[in-house]
Structure 1
Protein backbone atom coordinates (compact mmCIF):
# COMPACT_ATOMS: atom_id res chain seq x y z
CA UNK A 1 0.00 0.00 0.00
CA UNK A 2 2.83 2.39 0.93
CA UNK A 3 4.65 1.60 -2.31
CA UNK A 4 1.48 2.14 -4.33
CA UNK A 5 0.82 5.49 -2.63
CA UNK A 6 4.39 6.59 -3.23
CA UNK A 7 4.06 5.66 -6.91
CA UNK A 8 0.88 7.68 -7.25
CA UNK A 9 2.48 10.63 -5.44
CA UNK A 10 5.53 10.41 -7.67
CA UNK A 11 3.46 10.34 -10.86
CA UNK A 12 1.28 13.24 -9.74
CA UNK A 13 4.36 15.23 -8.77
CA UNK A 14 5.84 14.68 -12.22
CA UNK A 15 2.61 15.74 -13.88
CA UNK A 16 2.41 18.91 -11.78
CA UNK A 17 6.08 19.70 -12.40
CA UNK A 18 5.74 19.01 -16.13
CA UNK A 19 2.66 21.20 -16.42
CA UNK A 20 4.20 24.06 -14.45
CA UNK A 21 7.40 23.96 -16.47
CA UNK A 22 5.49 24.20 -19.74
CA UNK A 23 3.05 26.74 -18.30
CA UNK A 24 0.18 24.90 -19.98
CA UNK A 25 -3.02 26.89 -20.18
CA UNK A 26 -6.39 25.09 -20.24
CA UNK A 27 -8.02 24.99 -23.66
CA UNK A 28 -11.49 25.69 -22.31
CA UNK A 29 -12.97 27.78 -19.51
CA UNK A 30 -15.74 26.57 -17.21
CA UNK A 31 -17.92 29.57 -18.02
CA UNK A 32 -17.96 28.45 -21.68
CA UNK A 33 -18.38 24.72 -21.11
CA UNK A 34 -21.86 24.54 -22.70
CA UNK A 35 -20.85 26.25 -25.94
CA UNK A 36 -17.51 24.39 -26.03
CA UNK A 37 -19.17 20.97 -26.07
CA UNK A 38 -21.89 22.03 -28.52
CA UNK A 39 -19.41 23.62 -30.92
CA UNK A 40 -17.00 20.67 -30.82
CA UNK A 41 -19.79 18.20 -31.62
CA UNK A 42 -21.07 20.40 -34.44
CA UNK A 43 -17.78 21.43 -36.02
CA UNK A 44 -15.99 18.07 -35.89
CA UNK A 45 -18.84 15.56 -36.21
CA UNK A 46 -21.79 17.61 -37.51
CA UNK A 47 -23.83 16.48 -34.52
CA UNK A 48 -26.34 18.72 -32.76
CA UNK A 49 -26.56 18.41 -28.98
CA UNK A 50 -28.13 20.42 -26.20
CA UNK A 51 -25.89 21.15 -23.21
CA UNK A 52 -26.93 22.50 -19.82
CA UNK A 53 -24.98 23.01 -16.63
CA UNK A 54 -26.63 22.32 -13.27
CA UNK A 55 -24.09 23.43 -10.65
CA UNK A 56 -21.42 20.69 -10.72
CA UNK A 57 -23.21 18.44 -13.21
CA UNK A 58 -23.03 18.89 -16.97
CA UNK A 59 -25.97 17.51 -18.98
CA UNK A 60 -25.71 16.59 -22.66
CA UNK A 61 -28.83 15.72 -24.64
CA UNK A 62 -28.74 14.12 -28.09
CA UNK A 63 -31.96 13.45 -30.05
CA UNK A 64 -32.00 10.68 -32.66
CA UNK A 65 -34.63 9.59 -35.17
CA UNK A 66 -33.84 5.89 -34.81
CA UNK A 67 -31.95 5.03 -31.64
CA UNK A 68 -33.03 1.38 -31.84
CA UNK A 69 -32.80 -0.92 -34.87
CA UNK A 70 -35.18 -3.70 -35.97
CA UNK A 71 -33.52 -6.18 -33.57
CA UNK A 72 -34.18 -3.95 -30.58
CA UNK A 73 -30.50 -3.03 -30.29
CA UNK A 74 -28.69 0.27 -30.55
CA UNK A 75 -28.38 1.32 -34.18
CA UNK A 76 -24.79 0.93 -35.38
CA UNK A 77 -24.51 4.44 -36.82
CA UNK A 78 -26.07 5.93 -33.69
CA UNK A 79 -23.59 3.99 -31.55
CA UNK A 80 -20.72 5.60 -33.48
CA UNK A 81 -22.25 9.06 -33.15
CA UNK A 82 -22.76 8.59 -29.40
CA UNK A 83 -19.08 7.65 -29.20
CA UNK A 84 -18.18 10.89 -30.99
CA UNK A 85 -20.28 12.93 -28.55
CA UNK A 86 -18.74 11.24 -25.52
CA UNK A 87 -15.27 11.82 -26.99
CA UNK A 88 -16.07 15.52 -27.47
CA UNK A 89 -17.33 15.72 -23.89
CA UNK A 90 -14.16 14.10 -22.58
CA UNK A 91 -11.91 16.37 -24.62
CA UNK A 92 -13.53 19.45 -23.12
CA UNK A 93 -13.61 18.08 -19.57
CA UNK A 94 -9.96 17.03 -19.63
CA UNK A 95 -8.84 20.42 -20.98
CA UNK A 96 -10.91 22.79 -18.86
CA UNK A 97 -9.78 25.06 -16.05
CA UNK A 98 -12.42 23.97 -13.50
CA UNK A 99 -14.09 20.69 -14.46
CA UNK A 100 -17.52 19.78 -13.07
CA UNK A 101 -17.89 16.66 -10.93
CA UNK A 102 -20.41 14.72 -13.02
CA UNK A 103 -21.60 14.35 -16.57
CA UNK A 104 -25.00 12.97 -17.54
CA UNK A 105 -25.50 12.07 -21.19
CA UNK A 106 -28.99 11.33 -22.50
CA UNK A 107 -29.69 9.99 -25.99
CA UNK A 108 -33.37 9.78 -26.97
CA UNK A 109 -35.29 8.22 -29.83
CA UNK A 110 -37.65 11.08 -30.67
CA UNK A 111 -39.37 9.54 -33.72
CA UNK A 112 -40.16 5.86 -33.18
CA UNK A 113 -39.87 4.41 -29.68
CA UNK A 114 -39.34 7.25 -27.18
CA UNK A 115 -36.37 5.33 -25.77
CA UNK A 116 -33.95 7.08 -23.40
CA UNK A 117 -30.35 5.95 -23.00
CA UNK A 118 -28.69 7.51 -19.95
CA UNK A 119 -24.98 7.44 -19.12
CA UNK A 120 -23.66 8.99 -15.90
CA UNK A 121 -20.01 9.37 -14.96
CA UNK A 122 -17.94 10.81 -12.11
CA UNK A 123 -15.31 13.01 -13.73
CA UNK A 124 -12.47 12.22 -11.25
CA UNK A 125 -12.90 8.57 -12.32
CA UNK A 126 -12.39 9.65 -15.93
CA UNK A 127 -9.20 11.47 -14.96
CA UNK A 128 -7.93 8.42 -13.03
CA UNK A 129 -8.59 6.21 -16.05
CA UNK A 130 -6.77 8.58 -18.40
CA UNK A 131 -3.79 8.55 -16.01
CA UNK A 132 -4.00 4.72 -15.86
CA UNK A 133 -4.63 4.69 -12.12
CA UNK A 134 -7.65 2.43 -12.69
CA UNK A 135 -8.18 -0.23 -15.35
CA UNK A 136 -10.65 0.02 -18.22
CA UNK A 137 -12.80 -2.66 -16.59
CA UNK A 138 -12.91 -0.79 -13.29
CA UNK A 139 -13.65 2.47 -15.10
CA UNK A 140 -16.60 0.95 -16.95
CA UNK A 141 -18.00 -0.43 -13.69
CA UNK A 142 -17.92 3.10 -12.27
CA UNK A 143 -20.22 4.45 -14.99
CA UNK A 144 -23.98 4.17 -14.60
CA UNK A 145 -25.94 3.07 -17.65
CA UNK A 146 -29.72 2.93 -17.90
CA UNK A 147 -32.15 2.30 -20.74
CA UNK A 148 -35.91 2.80 -20.72
CA UNK A 149 -38.95 3.89 -22.70
CA UNK A 150 -40.32 7.37 -22.10
CA UNK A 151 -43.20 8.50 -24.35
CA UNK A 152 -42.42 12.12 -23.48
CA UNK A 153 -39.21 11.80 -25.49
CA UNK A 154 -41.17 11.59 -28.75
CA UNK A 155 -40.74 14.82 -30.68
CA UNK A 156 -38.48 16.35 -28.01
CA UNK A 157 -35.53 17.84 -29.88
CA UNK A 158 -34.41 20.03 -26.96
CA UNK A 159 -34.53 17.58 -24.05
CA UNK A 160 -37.41 19.23 -22.22
CA UNK A 161 -38.65 15.86 -20.90
CA UNK A 162 -35.42 15.45 -18.94
CA UNK A 163 -35.41 17.10 -15.53
CA UNK A 164 -31.94 18.53 -14.96
CA UNK A 165 -30.46 18.48 -11.44
CA UNK A 166 -27.13 18.56 -9.67
CA UNK A 167 -25.96 15.07 -8.76
CA UNK A 168 -23.97 14.38 -5.60
CA UNK A 169 -21.49 11.60 -4.88
CA UNK A 170 -23.73 9.79 -2.38
CA UNK A 171 -26.62 9.37 -4.84
CA UNK A 172 -24.21 8.44 -7.63
CA UNK A 173 -22.60 5.80 -5.42
CA UNK A 174 -26.03 4.33 -4.69
CA UNK A 175 -26.69 4.03 -8.43
CA UNK A 176 -23.38 2.23 -8.95
CA UNK A 177 -24.03 -0.16 -6.04
CA UNK A 178 -27.42 -1.22 -7.40
CA UNK A 179 -26.05 -1.59 -10.91
CA UNK A 180 -23.10 -3.71 -9.78
CA UNK A 181 -25.30 -6.08 -7.77
CA UNK A 182 -27.48 -6.61 -10.86
CA UNK A 183 -24.41 -7.15 -13.03
CA UNK A 184 -23.06 -9.89 -10.79
CA UNK A 185 -26.24 -11.96 -10.71
CA UNK A 186 -27.14 -11.45 -14.39
CA UNK A 187 -23.60 -12.16 -15.61
CA UNK A 188 -23.04 -15.16 -17.92
CA UNK A 189 -21.43 -16.97 -15.00
CA UNK A 190 -24.48 -16.78 -12.73
CA UNK A 191 -27.58 -15.85 -14.75
CA UNK A 192 -28.82 -19.45 -15.04
CA UNK A 193 -28.66 -19.87 -11.26
CA UNK A 194 -30.42 -16.68 -10.17
CA UNK A 195 -33.45 -14.59 -11.03
CA UNK A 196 -33.01 -10.91 -10.22
CA UNK A 197 -36.41 -9.46 -9.40
CA UNK A 198 -35.12 -6.36 -7.59
CA UNK A 199 -31.69 -4.92 -6.87
CA UNK A 200 -31.82 -1.22 -6.10
CA UNK A 201 -29.86 1.15 -3.89
CA UNK A 202 -30.61 4.67 -2.75
CA UNK A 203 -29.52 7.44 -0.41
CA UNK A 204 -31.71 9.53 1.89
CA UNK A 205 -30.26 13.05 2.13
CA UNK A 206 -32.20 13.84 5.30
CA UNK A 207 -31.34 10.76 7.36
CA UNK A 208 -28.03 10.27 5.51
CA UNK A 209 -28.75 6.57 5.21
CA UNK A 210 -27.89 4.30 2.29
CA UNK A 211 -30.56 1.73 1.50
CA UNK A 212 -30.35 -1.47 -0.51
CA UNK A 213 -33.37 -3.53 -1.49
CA UNK A 214 -32.80 -6.91 -3.14
CA UNK A 215 -35.03 -9.74 -4.26
CA UNK A 216 -32.76 -12.30 -5.91
CA UNK A 217 -34.08 -15.84 -6.08
CA UNK A 218 -31.84 -18.87 -6.52
CA UNK A 219 -33.11 -21.05 -9.39
CA UNK A 220 -30.51 -23.83 -9.46
CA UNK A 221 -27.96 -25.21 -7.05
CA UNK A 222 -24.24 -25.06 -7.62
CA UNK A 223 -21.45 -25.19 -5.04
CA UNK A 224 -19.81 -21.89 -4.06
CA UNK A 225 -22.42 -19.61 -5.56
CA UNK A 226 -22.39 -16.03 -4.22
CA UNK A 227 -24.94 -15.22 -1.54
CA UNK A 228 -27.06 -12.22 -2.58
CA UNK A 229 -27.23 -10.62 0.88
CA UNK A 230 -23.49 -10.95 1.48
CA UNK A 231 -22.66 -9.84 -2.06
CA UNK A 232 -24.79 -6.72 -1.59
CA UNK A 233 -22.95 -5.89 1.64
CA UNK A 234 -19.56 -6.42 0.00
CA UNK A 235 -20.52 -4.21 -2.91
CA UNK A 236 -21.80 -1.45 -0.64
CA UNK A 237 -18.70 -1.48 1.54
CA UNK A 238 -16.42 -1.50 -1.52
CA UNK A 239 -17.91 1.55 -3.18
CA UNK A 240 -18.89 3.54 -0.08
CA UNK A 241 -15.79 2.94 2.04
CA UNK A 242 -13.00 1.97 -0.34
CA UNK A 243 -13.61 3.47 -3.79
CA UNK A 244 -15.21 6.81 -2.91
CA UNK A 245 -14.34 6.88 0.82
CA UNK A 246 -17.59 8.62 1.72
CA UNK A 247 -17.91 10.32 5.10
CA UNK A 248 -21.23 12.13 4.80
CA UNK A 249 -23.50 9.24 5.79
CA UNK A 250 -24.74 7.71 9.04
CA UNK A 251 -25.80 4.17 8.22
CA UNK A 252 -26.59 1.46 5.70
CA UNK A 253 -29.87 -0.46 5.67
CA UNK A 254 -30.16 -3.58 3.56
CA UNK A 255 -33.31 -5.65 3.09
CA UNK A 256 -33.62 -9.00 1.30
CA UNK A 257 -37.21 -9.59 0.19
CA UNK A 258 -36.49 -13.21 -0.77
CA UNK A 259 -35.22 -14.25 2.68
CA UNK A 260 -36.90 -11.55 4.76
CA UNK A 261 -33.53 -10.60 6.24
CA UNK A 262 -32.92 -6.99 7.28
CA UNK A 263 -29.70 -5.48 8.57
CA UNK A 264 -28.73 -1.95 9.60
CA UNK A 265 -25.09 -0.97 10.04
CA UNK A 266 -23.63 2.25 11.36
CA UNK A 267 -20.89 4.02 9.42
CA UNK A 268 -18.25 2.56 11.72
CA UNK A 269 -19.70 -0.95 11.51
CA UNK A 270 -19.71 -0.83 7.71
CA UNK A 271 -16.14 0.44 7.59
CA UNK A 272 -14.95 -2.32 9.92
CA UNK A 273 -17.01 -5.11 8.34
CA UNK A 274 -14.93 -8.19 7.48
CA UNK A 275 -15.83 -11.02 5.12
CA UNK A 276 -12.92 -13.35 5.93
Structure 2
Protein backbone atom coordinates (compact mmCIF):
# COMPACT_ATOMS: atom_id res chain seq x y z
CA UNK A 1 0.00 0.00 0.00
CA UNK A 2 1.23 3.50 -0.73
CA UNK A 3 2.43 5.53 2.23
CA UNK A 4 0.49 8.55 1.05
CA UNK A 5 -3.27 8.21 1.33
CA UNK A 6 -5.84 10.88 0.63
CA UNK A 7 -7.56 12.53 3.59
CA UNK A 8 -10.95 11.67 2.11
CA UNK A 9 -10.10 7.98 1.80
CA UNK A 10 -8.62 7.81 5.29
CA UNK A 11 -11.61 9.51 6.86
CA UNK A 12 -13.93 6.87 5.39
CA UNK A 13 -11.82 3.92 6.51
CA UNK A 14 -13.28 3.81 10.00
CA UNK A 15 -16.70 2.79 8.67
CA UNK A 16 -15.51 -0.82 8.35
CA UNK A 17 -14.23 -1.16 11.90
CA UNK A 18 -17.33 -2.44 13.70
CA UNK A 19 -18.38 -5.85 12.33
CA UNK A 20 -15.49 -8.06 13.48
CA UNK A 21 -15.34 -6.58 16.97
CA UNK A 22 -19.06 -6.85 17.52
CA UNK A 23 -19.32 -10.35 16.18
CA UNK A 24 -16.77 -11.63 18.67
CA UNK A 25 -17.52 -9.71 21.85
CA UNK A 26 -20.92 -11.08 22.74
CA UNK A 27 -19.93 -13.82 25.15
CA UNK A 28 -20.30 -14.30 28.87
CA UNK A 29 -17.48 -13.62 31.28
CA UNK A 30 -17.06 -15.32 34.62
CA UNK A 31 -13.86 -14.59 36.50
CA UNK A 32 -12.90 -14.08 40.10
CA UNK A 33 -11.93 -10.60 41.40
CA UNK A 34 -8.22 -9.97 40.90
CA UNK A 35 -7.57 -6.31 40.00
CA UNK A 36 -7.74 -3.03 41.91
CA UNK A 37 -8.17 0.40 40.34
CA UNK A 38 -4.47 1.15 40.65
CA UNK A 39 -3.69 -2.06 38.73
CA UNK A 40 -5.80 -1.33 35.66
CA UNK A 41 -3.37 0.48 33.36
CA UNK A 42 -0.47 -1.84 34.13
CA UNK A 43 -2.64 -4.96 33.80
CA UNK A 44 -4.07 -3.98 30.41
CA UNK A 45 -0.65 -3.02 29.08
CA UNK A 46 1.06 -6.17 30.40
CA UNK A 47 -1.60 -8.60 29.14
CA UNK A 48 -1.66 -6.96 25.70
CA UNK A 49 2.11 -7.36 25.47
CA UNK A 50 2.41 -10.84 26.96
CA UNK A 51 -0.52 -12.55 25.23
CA UNK A 52 -0.83 -10.61 21.96
CA UNK A 53 2.60 -8.94 21.50
CA UNK A 54 0.89 -5.55 21.33
CA UNK A 55 2.70 -2.42 22.48
CA UNK A 56 0.14 -0.07 23.99
CA UNK A 57 0.11 3.08 26.08
CA UNK A 58 -2.51 3.02 28.84
CA UNK A 59 -3.74 5.98 30.85
CA UNK A 60 -6.49 6.39 33.43
CA UNK A 61 -8.12 9.83 33.54
CA UNK A 62 -10.80 9.96 36.22
CA UNK A 63 -13.30 7.24 35.32
CA UNK A 64 -12.05 6.85 31.75
CA UNK A 65 -9.46 4.30 30.63
CA UNK A 66 -7.49 5.23 27.51
CA UNK A 67 -5.58 2.69 25.41
CA UNK A 68 -3.35 3.97 22.61
CA UNK A 69 -2.27 1.53 19.89
CA UNK A 70 0.37 2.92 17.47
CA UNK A 71 0.62 1.02 14.18
CA UNK A 72 1.50 1.63 10.54
CA UNK A 73 -0.61 1.36 7.40
CA UNK A 74 -3.86 0.42 9.12
CA UNK A 75 -6.10 0.76 6.05
CA UNK A 76 -6.04 -0.69 2.56
CA UNK A 77 -8.14 -0.91 -0.59
CA UNK A 78 -10.65 -3.78 -0.44
CA UNK A 79 -10.48 -6.64 -2.96
CA UNK A 80 -14.25 -6.45 -3.40
CA UNK A 81 -15.44 -2.94 -2.48
CA UNK A 82 -18.78 -2.86 -0.71
CA UNK A 83 -21.40 -0.84 -2.55
CA UNK A 84 -23.89 1.49 -0.88
CA UNK A 85 -26.49 4.07 -1.85
CA UNK A 86 -25.96 7.76 -1.11
CA UNK A 87 -29.21 9.69 -0.55
CA UNK A 88 -28.11 12.39 1.89
CA UNK A 89 -25.14 14.68 2.41
CA UNK A 90 -24.09 15.16 6.03
CA UNK A 91 -21.77 17.58 7.78
CA UNK A 92 -20.25 16.78 11.16
CA UNK A 93 -21.81 18.75 14.00
CA UNK A 94 -21.37 18.89 17.76
CA UNK A 95 -24.11 18.44 20.34
CA UNK A 96 -23.85 19.64 23.91
CA UNK A 97 -25.68 19.88 27.20
CA UNK A 98 -25.55 23.45 28.44
CA UNK A 99 -27.38 24.84 31.46
CA UNK A 100 -29.81 21.89 31.46
CA UNK A 101 -30.58 22.39 27.74
CA UNK A 102 -29.64 19.51 25.44
CA UNK A 103 -28.73 21.12 22.11
CA UNK A 104 -28.78 18.86 19.05
CA UNK A 105 -27.51 20.36 15.80
CA UNK A 106 -27.65 18.52 12.49
CA UNK A 107 -26.96 19.15 8.83
CA UNK A 108 -28.64 16.51 6.66
CA UNK A 109 -29.32 17.47 3.06
CA UNK A 110 -31.14 15.25 0.51
CA UNK A 111 -29.13 14.71 -2.67
CA UNK A 112 -29.51 12.93 -6.00
CA UNK A 113 -29.41 9.22 -5.27
CA UNK A 114 -26.28 7.49 -6.51
CA UNK A 115 -24.45 4.22 -5.95
CA UNK A 116 -21.03 4.41 -4.35
CA UNK A 117 -18.47 1.97 -3.03
CA UNK A 118 -16.19 1.74 -0.01
CA UNK A 119 -12.80 3.07 -1.05
CA UNK A 120 -10.76 1.98 1.96
CA UNK A 121 -11.21 -0.57 4.74
CA UNK A 122 -9.47 -1.24 8.01
CA UNK A 123 -6.91 -3.98 7.54
CA UNK A 124 -8.16 -7.29 8.94
CA UNK A 125 -5.04 -7.80 11.08
CA UNK A 126 -5.55 -4.37 12.64
CA UNK A 127 -9.18 -5.15 13.37
CA UNK A 128 -8.07 -8.30 15.17
CA UNK A 129 -5.59 -6.31 17.26
CA UNK A 130 -8.33 -3.92 18.34
CA UNK A 131 -10.56 -6.85 19.17
CA UNK A 132 -7.82 -8.37 21.34
CA UNK A 133 -7.44 -5.10 23.24
CA UNK A 134 -11.18 -4.93 23.79
CA UNK A 135 -11.15 -8.47 25.17
CA UNK A 136 -8.29 -7.61 27.53
CA UNK A 137 -10.11 -4.53 28.80
CA UNK A 138 -13.26 -6.52 29.43
CA UNK A 139 -11.28 -9.25 31.19
CA UNK A 140 -9.61 -6.75 33.51
CA UNK A 141 -12.70 -4.64 34.26
CA UNK A 142 -14.94 -7.67 34.80
CA UNK A 143 -12.47 -9.09 37.30
CA UNK A 144 -11.97 -6.00 39.44
CA UNK A 145 -12.34 -6.68 43.14
CA UNK A 146 -12.58 -3.03 44.14
CA UNK A 147 -15.82 -1.15 44.91
CA UNK A 148 -18.11 -0.51 41.96
CA UNK A 149 -17.33 3.21 41.95
CA UNK A 150 -13.66 2.44 41.20
CA UNK A 151 -14.40 0.65 37.93
CA UNK A 152 -13.89 2.97 34.92
CA UNK A 153 -17.24 3.84 33.37
CA UNK A 154 -15.79 4.62 29.96
CA UNK A 155 -12.86 3.36 27.96
CA UNK A 156 -11.40 4.70 24.75
CA UNK A 157 -9.28 2.76 22.26
CA UNK A 158 -7.25 4.97 19.92
CA UNK A 159 -5.72 3.15 16.96
CA UNK A 160 -3.17 5.38 15.25
CA UNK A 161 -1.51 5.04 11.86
CA UNK A 162 1.73 6.77 12.79
CA UNK A 163 3.04 6.54 9.24
CA UNK A 164 0.14 8.29 7.50
CA UNK A 165 -1.07 10.53 10.34
CA UNK A 166 -4.51 8.99 10.75
CA UNK A 167 -6.32 7.62 13.80
CA UNK A 168 -9.59 5.95 14.75
CA UNK A 169 -10.97 6.63 18.22
CA UNK A 170 -13.65 4.43 19.76
CA UNK A 171 -15.42 5.31 23.01
CA UNK A 172 -17.24 2.57 24.91
CA UNK A 173 -19.54 2.71 27.95
CA UNK A 174 -18.81 -0.07 30.44
CA UNK A 175 -22.50 -0.59 31.22
CA UNK A 176 -23.16 -1.23 27.50
CA UNK A 177 -20.40 -3.83 27.37
CA UNK A 178 -21.93 -5.64 30.34
CA UNK A 179 -25.36 -5.61 28.72
CA UNK A 180 -23.92 -7.07 25.52
CA UNK A 181 -21.96 -9.73 27.40
CA UNK A 182 -25.10 -10.95 29.15
CA UNK A 183 -27.29 -10.61 26.03
CA UNK A 184 -29.42 -7.74 27.35
CA UNK A 185 -28.78 -5.81 24.12
CA UNK A 186 -28.14 -7.01 20.58
CA UNK A 187 -24.95 -6.75 18.55
CA UNK A 188 -26.58 -4.13 16.33
CA UNK A 189 -27.69 -2.02 19.28
CA UNK A 190 -24.23 -2.26 20.80
CA UNK A 191 -22.75 -1.06 17.52
CA UNK A 192 -25.00 2.00 17.60
CA UNK A 193 -23.85 2.79 21.15
CA UNK A 194 -20.15 2.99 20.33
CA UNK A 195 -18.84 6.47 19.52
CA UNK A 196 -16.38 6.28 16.64
CA UNK A 197 -14.36 9.25 15.43
CA UNK A 198 -11.56 9.64 12.91
CA UNK A 199 -8.84 12.27 12.81
CA UNK A 200 -6.05 13.24 10.43
CA UNK A 201 -3.10 15.21 11.78
CA UNK A 202 0.63 15.60 11.23
CA UNK A 203 1.04 15.27 15.02
CA UNK A 204 0.09 11.59 14.77
CA UNK A 205 3.01 10.78 12.46
CA UNK A 206 5.76 9.04 14.42
CA UNK A 207 3.92 9.36 17.75
CA UNK A 208 4.52 6.01 19.46
CA UNK A 209 3.57 7.24 22.93
CA UNK A 210 0.33 9.13 22.30
CA UNK A 211 1.76 12.53 23.21
CA UNK A 212 -0.63 14.28 20.81
CA UNK A 213 -3.71 13.01 22.66
CA UNK A 214 -5.59 15.11 25.19
CA UNK A 215 -6.54 12.58 27.84
CA UNK A 216 -9.66 13.50 29.79
CA UNK A 217 -12.49 12.04 31.82
CA UNK A 218 -15.51 11.39 29.59
CA UNK A 219 -18.90 12.14 31.15
CA UNK A 220 -22.24 10.42 30.55
CA UNK A 221 -23.71 13.74 29.38
CA UNK A 222 -20.99 14.12 26.75
CA UNK A 223 -21.29 10.47 25.71
CA UNK A 224 -25.04 10.68 25.15
CA UNK A 225 -24.79 13.96 23.23
CA UNK A 226 -22.12 12.46 20.96
CA UNK A 227 -24.04 9.21 20.57
CA UNK A 228 -27.08 11.09 19.30
CA UNK A 229 -24.91 12.67 16.62
CA UNK A 230 -23.37 9.29 15.83
CA UNK A 231 -26.81 7.69 15.42
CA UNK A 232 -27.85 10.50 13.07
CA UNK A 233 -24.84 9.71 10.88
CA UNK A 234 -25.54 5.98 10.93
CA UNK A 235 -29.18 6.47 9.96
CA UNK A 236 -28.58 8.84 7.05
CA UNK A 237 -25.22 7.58 5.75
CA UNK A 238 -26.24 3.93 5.25
CA UNK A 239 -28.97 5.09 4.67
CA UNK A 240 -31.73 3.55 6.79
CA UNK A 241 -34.45 5.89 5.50
CA UNK A 242 -35.94 6.79 2.13
CA UNK A 243 -35.03 9.98 0.29
CA UNK A 244 -38.41 11.59 1.09
CA UNK A 245 -38.16 10.95 4.83
CA UNK A 246 -39.11 13.70 7.30
CA UNK A 247 -35.59 14.49 8.52
CA UNK A 248 -36.68 16.47 11.59
CA UNK A 249 -39.00 13.69 12.71
CA UNK A 250 -36.33 11.04 12.21
CA UNK A 251 -33.84 13.05 14.27
CA UNK A 252 -36.39 13.47 17.06
CA UNK A 253 -36.94 9.71 17.07
CA UNK A 254 -33.20 9.19 17.45
CA UNK A 255 -33.01 11.62 20.36
CA UNK A 256 -35.98 10.07 22.15
CA UNK A 257 -34.69 6.54 21.67
CA UNK A 258 -31.21 7.37 22.97
CA UNK A 259 -32.50 9.22 26.03
CA UNK A 260 -34.89 6.40 26.84
CA UNK A 261 -32.22 3.72 26.35
CA UNK A 262 -30.08 5.30 29.05
CA UNK A 263 -32.95 6.61 31.15
CA UNK A 264 -31.20 9.97 30.94
CA UNK A 265 -33.16 12.82 32.53
CA UNK A 266 -30.47 15.24 33.63
CA UNK A 267 -31.82 18.07 31.46
CA UNK A 268 -34.85 20.34 31.33
CA UNK A 269 -35.27 21.14 27.63
CA UNK A 270 -34.32 19.73 24.26
CA UNK A 271 -33.38 22.12 21.47
CA UNK A 272 -32.95 20.58 18.01
CA UNK A 273 -31.74 22.78 15.17
CA UNK A 274 -31.84 21.84 11.50
CA UNK A 275 -28.86 23.77 10.12
CA UNK A 276 -30.03 23.27 6.52
CA UNK A 277 -33.52 24.77 6.92
CA UNK A 278 -32.93 26.83 10.07
CA UNK A 279 -35.91 25.17 11.76
CA UNK A 280 -35.61 24.97 15.55
CA UNK A 281 -37.75 22.83 17.84
CA UNK A 282 -37.78 23.20 21.63
CA UNK A 283 -39.42 20.53 23.77
CA UNK A 284 -39.60 19.55 27.42
CA UNK A 285 -39.02 15.96 28.52
CA UNK A 286 -42.67 14.93 28.32
CA UNK A 287 -43.13 16.39 24.84
CA UNK A 288 -40.01 14.67 23.49
CA UNK A 289 -41.44 11.19 23.83
CA UNK A 290 -44.98 12.21 22.86
CA UNK A 291 -43.91 13.93 19.63
CA UNK A 292 -41.47 11.18 18.61
CA UNK A 293 -44.29 8.59 18.57
CA UNK A 294 -46.62 10.56 16.30
| Range of TM-score over shorter length | 0.7 to 0.9
- Is the contact made by 2:256 and 2:292 (CA closer than 8 Å) also made in structure 1? no
Pairwise CA distance, 1:238: 1.2
Pairwise CA distance, 1:106: 0.3
- Structure 1 spans left out of the alignment, 5+ residues: 1-18, 194-224
Matched, 1:41 2:27: no
Match of 1:11 in 2: none
TM-score normalised by length of structure 1: 0.75
Match of 1:99 in 2: 151
TM-score normalised by length of structure 2: 0.70
Give the length in aligned residue pairs.
221
CA 1:141/1:189 → structure 2, altered by over 3 Å: closer, same or farther? closer
- Structure 2 spans left out of the alignment, 5+ residues: 1-29, 79-119
Pairwise CA distance, 1:70: 5.0
**Which has the higher relative contact order, 1 or 2, with Cα contacts under 8 A spaced 6 or more apart?**
2
Match of 1:211 in 2: none
Match of 1:237 in 2: 256
Among 158, 171, 174, the residue aligned to 1:120: 171
- Is the contact made by 2:274 and 2:280 (CA closer than 8 Å) also made in structure 1? yes
Match of 1:108 in 2: 160
Secondary structure at 2:168's aligned position in 1? Answer: strand
Match of 1:131 in 2: 182
Secondary structure at 2:263's aligned position in 1? Answer: coil
Matched, 1:86 2:134: yes
CA 1:189/1:141 → structure 2, altered by over 3 Å: closer, same or farther? closer
Listed as ranges, the matches of 1:48-87 within 5 Å are 48-70=55-77, 72-87=120-135
Match of 2:293 in 1: 275
Distance 1:34 1:267 in 2: 39
Secondary structure at 2:122's aligned position in 1? Answer: coil
Pairwise CA distance, 1:272: 4.4
Secondary structure at 1:156's aligned position in 2? Answer: coil
Secondary structure at 1:166's aligned position in 2? Answer: coil
Match of 1:171 in 2: 222
Distance 1:231 1:38 in 2: 42
Match of 2:270 in 1: 252
Distance 1:89 1:29 in 2: 13
Distance 1:70 1:137 in 2: 25
Listed as ranges, the matches of 1:176-195 within 5 Å are 176-190=227-241, 193=243
Distance 2:263 2:293 in 1: 18
- Identify the range of structure 1 (249-258 vs 129-138) with the bigger mean alpha-carbon deviation: 249-258
- Please give the per-residue CA displacement for 1:26-55, whole angstroms capped at 9, x wherever unaligned: 122211000010011001001010000011
Pairwise CA distance, 1:249: 1.4
Secondary structure at 2:121's aligned position in 1? Answer: coil
